[in-house]
Amino acid sequence: MVRATIRMMIPSRKRVEVLEILSSIAERARFETGCISCRVYQGVEVENLIMLEEVWRDEEDLERHLQSEDYRKVLLVVEMAVEPPEIRFDAISHSTGFETIEKARKSPQNGEMS
C-alpha cells in the first residue's frame, strides 16, 4: 500500500473553492482501480490548513492516478498554497487495528488492563 498526503496552507479567500475542488476529486478517486481511500481534511486548530490523504493498493495504481487529469487539478490547487506544501508518499508494509491496542494494554509490563 502507498499513502499519499498533501498538507497545505490555503489563503482564507480560497479555502471554500479549494475544499470543493478537492472533495470532488476525492469522490471520483474512490472509484479508481486500486484506491483504498481518499479523504480531504480541514484543520481545526489551524483553519487554513487543508490535507488531501489518499491510500492506494500499490505504486502502479498510484502512478496511474498521478498521471490523471484530476491529479493535474490537485497540482493547480497546490499552487494556491501560501507556503511550500508538505507532500509525502509512504509505503505501508502492513497495518493493524484495535487488536494492537488490546495487545499493548494486556502486556505484562503494563500490569492489569485498564
pTM of the full structure: 0.85
| Alpha carbon 32 to its chain's center | 15
Residues 6+ apart with CB under 8 A from 4: 52, 53, 54, 55, 56, 62, 87, 88, 89, 90
Q: Is the dihedral of CA 86, 80, 26, 34 positive or negative?
A: negative
The CA distance from 50 to 46, in Å, is 9
pLDDT for 94 = 87
pLDDT digits (tens, 9 = 90+) for 12-32: 999 999 999 999 999 999 999
Domain 2-110 in CATH 3.30.70.100: yes
Please state the domain extents for the chain.
2-110
Residues of the chain with confidence (pLDDT) below 70? 109-114
Cell of 70: 484530476
